Amino acid sequence: MKYGLHGKLQAKPGKGKALAKILMQAAELMSKAPGCELYLVSQDAQNYDEIWITEVWKQESDHDASLSIAGVRELITSAMPLLGESPKAGQKLQVLGGHGL
pLDDT at 23 over 90: yes
Asked if 93 and 60 touch (Cβ cutoff 8 Å), the reply is no
In terms of Cβ atoms closer than 10 Å to its own Cβ (0-12, 13-18, 19+), residue 78 is middle
The pair phi, psi for residue 94, each rounded to 5°, is -95, 110
> What number is the average pLDDT over the span 86-92?
83
| pLDDT above 80 (res 70) | yes
* CATH fold group of domain 2-84+91-95: Alpha-Beta Plaits (3.30.70)
- Note if the pTM is more than 0.85: yes
Domain layout of the chain by residue ranges: 2-84+91-95
